[in-house]
Structure 1
Amino acid sequence: MLMEWGMLVAMDPHLLRTYVTVARLASFSEAARELGYTQSAVSQHIAALEQDLGAALLTRRPVTPTTAGERLLEHAGPLLLRLDAARADVVRMASAPEHGLTLAATPTALGPRVLAALPAAGVTLRALARDDIPVAVATGAADLGLVDGLAAPSDPLRLPDVAPLNTCGVGEEPVCVLLPEGHPLARRPGLRLADLVDARWLDAPGAGLPLDRLRATSGTGAVRTALRYEGTDLRTLTTLAAAGHGLTVLPRGFATGVPGVAAVPLVEPRVVHRTELLSGGALRGAAAVLARQLTAAGPEGA
């Protein structure tokens, strides 16, 4: 980290942003259009950065990073994100306290307790992928974030390290396996993952709970994906489960009472659905009120 911040001090972040954009688009002209520069200015930025570092960063025909350029890209993303986070933190401190509230959340983090606590007006709700929510909070695109996932009871979630953020557990609840009503295991009082070694699973990272945690805790690798759903609609996910396209795991509050499926508690491995609140810097106005309401009862109060 010290090396990264040393690099940040030593180079112009405007040049670094230009380089990252050119490398991503593999085109000087496309990067110029996206950044609002002339193509000549983009070329000058890249040349200045290469001169500063004493290394060629891009081949020109085709436009691809060199070995040194690939290494710079590894550093550039976190550095630029930290700059954006620092800017957003200062803007938050200077902004008027009564601005609206933007909340970024995964669909399964929006349980009844969260919905009941939302202000009656002035809220923008953004459904995002789990890994995008810390970035949204760090850069000021959202005032608060709600992320969720599978964890051992009372264990924190594993979140990407994008910037210094405040995290607090706001809810834990059991999880259930959703099976079609006619499935041979649908009437079981509980299921072990070992009971499902031959099962076909739905991989729905945007709508349901990610399967990678189940794979990590199964000890047998017995989580085989049959269909991947890339949307965020829970109803579509449960309809796929009801139609027999694969099993899925959902928090108990979302799993019960769904037409066409049986929700059987997952009893082994012992994991829970955990929700955490993310914030950056001092909170004001509606964001502060919502954060106090969600954290008042602690993680067992969801």
Structure 2
Amino acid sequence: MDPHLLRTYVTVARLASFSEAARDLGYTQSAVSQHIAALETDLGMPLLTRRPVAPTPAGERLLEHAGALLLRLDAARADLDRFAAAPRATLDVAASPLALTPRTLAALPATGVTLRGLSRERVPVAVATGEADAGLVDGIAAPSDPLRLTDIAPLAATGVAEEPLAVVLPAHHPLAGRPGVRLDDLVDARWLDAPDAGIPLDRLRAVHGGPAGRGFRDALRYEGTDTRTLAALAAAGHGLALLPLPAAAGVPGAAAVPLVAPRLVHRVELLLPAGTGREPTGPVAGFARRLKG
């Protein structure tokens, strides 16, 4: 299967248009049509309907594989490019918002740094495909357990911080004065859906292990990345939020009640390209050394 043809197919399916895909890829519309026809001939089945432009059932199945296949090819190219590249004097770091703690920020060099805020899912992709030299990604896990990251390419993951978790709620909430709270007690509460600024609700549902689709209803969706804004929304009564305890403390009108069950922590990991004989050098090595020290 030709990856160039596969990229064209994914673009046409995503945009639902041959002409839009041609503009996006810098091809002529005729070339895009030829790519799709060649891929369909290679696979021996139609992948797209033409009016409207939409994947066939076989095309839908191919899309389930295509993203991972193309990403793996991009990661392989980036991995080989690193062997030929000259040592860099700068550092490009991709980080999910909650991975930016005082400790991780203090480990950055004083100059020559580009820091990119990305979603948790995008950070490993950026490191694997060479968009970033290093990544900082966060999530929730049992104490000392590694995060479960998508298998994109060989990446070395090292835990650099673990912090307790807290439920953020209004200071006048009935649970505000408790020394701790159990997740089981909050299944039917209203929550803030803030996938980039807090712990995503799908992770809460997963660790709770209840019936699919039950509990942790979202009352308001916040699509920003500012943790203080999320905590302020919780303080104003728009829903509960789960945050690392240090990030949840000190917000006016909010109470941060430690999560005591299940036993979970907020974990931050450093991601670096991995491979036989590969050791970080230059600013990447210094950054990793300061984080691990």
The yes-or-no answer on 1:227 pairing with 2:217 is: no
Contact 1:111 1:253 in 2 (8 A): no
AA in 2 matched with 1:232? T
State how 1:173-188 maps to structure 2 within 5 Å: 173-188=163-178
* 1:215 counterpart (183, 205, 208): 205
Q: Deviations over 1:61-120 (max 9, x none)?
A: 111122222222222211111111011112222222124211111111111110110011
* 2:287 counterpart (278, 286, 290): 290
Structure 1 unaligned segments of length 5 or more: list them: 1-10, 297-302
* 2:269 counterpart (276, 280, 302): 276
The yes-or-no answer on 1:53 pairing with 2:43 is: yes
The yes-or-no answer on 1:78 pairing with 2:71 is: no
Contact 2:71 2:152 in 1 (8 A): yes
State how 1:61-210 maps to structure 2 within 5 Å: 61-210=51-200
The aligned counterpart of 2:30 is 40
Against the structure 1 CA distance between its residues 13 and 270, is the aligned structure 2 distance closer, same or farther, given a 3 Å change threshold?
A: same
Q: Secondary structure at the match of 1:216?
A: helix
Q: Secondary structure at the match of 1:21?
A: helix
Identity among equivalent pairs (%)? 73
Contact 1:148 1:275 in 2 (8 A): yes
1:34, distance to aligned residue in structure 2 (A): 0.5
Q: Secondary structure at the match of 2:234?
A: helix
* 1:257 counterpart (207, 230, 250): 250
The aligned counterpart of 2:235 is 242
1:274, distance to aligned residue in structure 2 (A): 0.9
Contact 2:97 2:119 in 1 (8 A): no
- Aligned positions, number: 286
1:197, distance to aligned residue in structure 2 (A): 4.2
Q: Deviations over 1:20-62 (max 9, x none)?
A: 1111111111111011011111111112222222222222111
Structure 2 unaligned segments of length 5 or more: list them: none
Contact 2:96 2:137 in 1 (8 A): yes
1:193, distance to aligned residue in structure 2 (A): 2.0
Distance 2:33 2:186 in 1: 56
1:165, distance to aligned residue in structure 2 (A): 1.6
1:261, distance to aligned residue in structure 2 (A): 0.9
Q: Secondary structure at the match of 1:174?
A: strand
Q: Secondary structure at the match of 1:173?
A: strand
AA in 2 matched with 1:108? L
Q: Deviations over 1:135-174 (max 9, x none)?
A: 1111111111111111111112121222222211111111
Against the structure 1 CA distance between its residues 90 and 231, is the aligned structure 2 distance closer, same or farther, given a 3 Å change threshold?
A: same
1:212, distance to aligned residue in structure 2 (A): 2.4
Distance 1:19 1:194 in 2: 45
Contact 1:20 1:73 in 2 (8 A): yes
Contact 1:56 1:69 in 2 (8 A): yes
Distance 1:192 1:47 in 2: 56
1:129, distance to aligned residue in structure 2 (A): 1.1
Q: C-alpha root-mean-square deviation of aligned residues, in Å?
A: 1.6
1:260, distance to aligned residue in structure 2 (A): 1.7
TM-score for both structures, normalised by structure 2: 0.92
1:125, distance to aligned residue in structure 2 (A): 1.1
Distance 2:63 2:215 in 1: 36
